[in-house]
Amino acid sequence: MRGAGDQLSIGERIAFYRRRRGLSQVVLASLVGRTEDWLSKIERGEREIRRLDVLVEVARALRVTLGDLLGEPVLLEDEQEYDDVPAVRDALMAPQRLSRTLFSSMPLEYIDPVPVTRLAESAWSSYQKGDLGRVVTALPGLIKTTHQMEAASADDAVYRRPCAAVTARVHHLAATTLSKIGEADLAWIAAERAMHAADESDDPLVLASAARSGTHALLAVGRFDDAVELGEVAARWLRPRMEAGDPAALSLYGMLYLRTAVAAARHQDRSTASELLAQAGRAAEQLGVDGNYWQTSFGPSNVELHRISAALDLGDIPQVIDSAPRITVDHLPLERQVTHLIDLARAFSLVAKDDDALHTLLMAERKSPGIVRHSAVVREVGRSMYRRAPASAGTKSSPLLALAQRCRAVT
């Protein structure tokens, strides 16, 4: 059941899966190159796993997914308590997608790709505004429509290209959104569909953009080396178009390097992360502005945000706390602003500056309740702060408790 066990900490989930596998603490600790004392403290909540690559190692040793240990996902609900993720799953896994031959008797209908493209870009706009509920509500219909377009365009190469382009955009949006709310397996299906459609579009920008969805999906399941490889291959392939001065190509090129830099940082490869950030920085300097071509929000400011994110994953917490508040982000899309605030709150929490972390999360929640309340990072930060809070001071009934409950971190 989705959302089961949301109130368990990461340490408690590790203990649960360890016992289910019949492993002792000594055995599991040795499998990940740690001591029994380290694992015991993790399971009791006396110590946190700060590095995602370590959590990936534990997940592999337990033969579970990264999402299993993060407690993803919870039910996606907005203020109207909508949850359309099952509808997105149904659209992605419709049996008609499995074989055109078997379902060839179904009637085909010409669908004009222009209005569908407008609807897709409107949904992308909702994503950048942090309105995940609206995006998830729109996705099932968009996915079904693009499938109908694909079927109708099978024997028409001219019609197939614009149909494939909008199909790639829709599935890219699906992969990015599903990764954001913890539906990693569905995100991978959507990313694969985006890449396949992008190949059919015969458009280098569509393919480069779709490759971003692949990096999102790979990061969501902890496949950091694969994310780096995909992003670098796509960036090199796009380089001729970028060098021609196309700002959209330049933005996609730079954004691919930002995604690979995050992947390298999560793999604790500091030198590669620095090199990839430098590549993105040069692209941002060439672009010269904080643009939003192809919904990348790429530019000098976004490079700085990714530097902060990489520093956080590399464990450079003082650098994050010192640098993050000084970056101007108000002109960027809300999704970028909120993700930045979540990074800063996590950094505050890691050094037990819980008042600062709570203030930052509440600020982020005012901007986008959907992103904050469905973030695995926020849930773990909220849970850690709540457990540290002194009950004698009345904190257990404070705004911290209210936030933790809204994020399903505690009951």
DSSP string covering 164-186: HHHHHHHHHHHHHHHHHTT-HHH
Give me the pLDDT at residue 289, please. Answer: 94
198 and 302 share a domain?
no
214 and 226 share a domain?
no
3-state secondary structure of 296: coil
Q: Which runs of E-coded beta strand occur in 214-286?
A: none
Confidence of residue 94 (pLDDT cuts 50, 70, 90): confident
80 and 208 share a domain?
yes
Q: Do the domain assignments include residue 2?
A: no
The better pLDDT of the pair 282, 102 is held by 282
Q: Do the domain assignments include residue 204?
A: yes
In which domain, by residue range, is 41 found?
10-69
C-alpha separations of 345 from 263, 309, 328, 349, 386 in Å:
21, 12, 16, 6, 14
Q: Do the domain assignments include residue 60?
A: yes
Give me the pLDDT at residue 242, please. Answer: 87
95 and 195 share a domain?
yes
Q: Mean of the pLDDT values across residues 149-170?
A: 92
Q: Do the domain assignments include residue 112?
A: yes
**35-45: per-residue pLDDT in tens?**
989 999 888 88
10 Å Cβ neighbour count for 75?
A: 16
The lowest-confidence range among 97-111, 239-253, 312-326, 355-369 is 97-111
Q: Is 70 exceeded by the pLDDT of residue 308?
A: yes
10 Å Cβ neighbour count for 173?
A: 25
* HEC letters along 380-398: HHHHHHHHHCCHHHCHHHC
Amino acid, single-letter form, for residue 379: R
Give me the pLDDT at residue 1, please. Answer: 34
135 and 112 share a domain?
yes
Give me the pLDDT at residue 101, please. Answer: 79
- CA gap 8, 42 in Å, rounded: 13
197 and 95 share a domain?
yes
Give me the pLDDT at residue 314, please. Answer: 95
Give me the pLDDT at residue 327, please. Answer: 93
10 Å Cβ neighbour count for 121?
A: 15
**Given 258, 283, 314, which residue is the final one in a domain?**
314
Give me the pLDDT at residue 3, please. Answer: 42
Q: What is the mean pLDDT of the chain?
A: 89
Q: Is 70 exceeded by the pLDDT of residue 240?
A: yes
CATH of the domain at 30: 1.10.260.40
CB 378 within 8 A of CB 181: no
**Given 201, 219, 237, which residue is the final one in a domain?**
219
The lowest-confidence range among 76-90, 95-109, 236-250, 328-342 is 76-90
The lowest-confidence range among 14-23, 264-273, 387-396 is 387-396
pTM of the full structure: 0.84
Give me the pLDDT at residue 7, please. Answer: 66
88 and 183 share a domain?
yes
Q: Which two tokens stand for residue 314?
A: 């590399």
Q: Is 90 exceeded by the pLDDT of residue 320?
A: yes
**Given 50, 69, 88, which residue is the final one in a domain?**
69
Q: Do the domain assignments include residue 227?
A: yes
Q: What share of the chain in percent tops pLDDT 70?
A: 94
Give me the pLDDT at residue 108, please. Answer: 81
Domains in the chain, number:
4
308 and 242 share a domain?
yes
214 and 88 share a domain?
yes
3-state secondary structure of 153: coil
The closest of 177, 165, 211, 220 to 192, measured between CA atoms, is: 211
Confidence of residue 302 (pLDDT cuts 50, 70, 90): very high
Amino acid, single-letter form, for residue 325: P
Among 75-79, 243-247, 330-334, 384-388, top mean pLDDT goes to 330-334
Q: What share of the chain in percent tops pLDDT 90?
A: 60
The answer to whether the Cα torsion of 378, 379, 385, 386 is positive or negative is: positive
Give me the pLDDT at residue 2, please. Answer: 40
Give me the pLDDT at residue 74, please. Answer: 57
The answer to whether the Cα torsion of 351, 355, 361, 364 is positive or negative is: negative
63 and 86 share a domain?
no
329 and 302 share a domain?
no
The better pLDDT of the pair 107, 372 is held by 372
Q: Which two tokens stand for residue 3?
A: 């959302």
Q: Do the domain assignments include residue 1?
A: no
The answer to whether the Cα torsion of 334, 337, 341, 347 is positive or negative is: positive
Q: Do the domain assignments include residue 254?
A: yes
92 and 180 share a domain?
yes
The lowest-confidence range among 76-85, 174-183, 196-205, 232-241 is 76-85
- CA gap 315, 353 in Å, rounded: 16
Q: Mean of the pLDDT values across residues 193-212?
A: 94
Q: Do the domain assignments include residue 4?
A: no
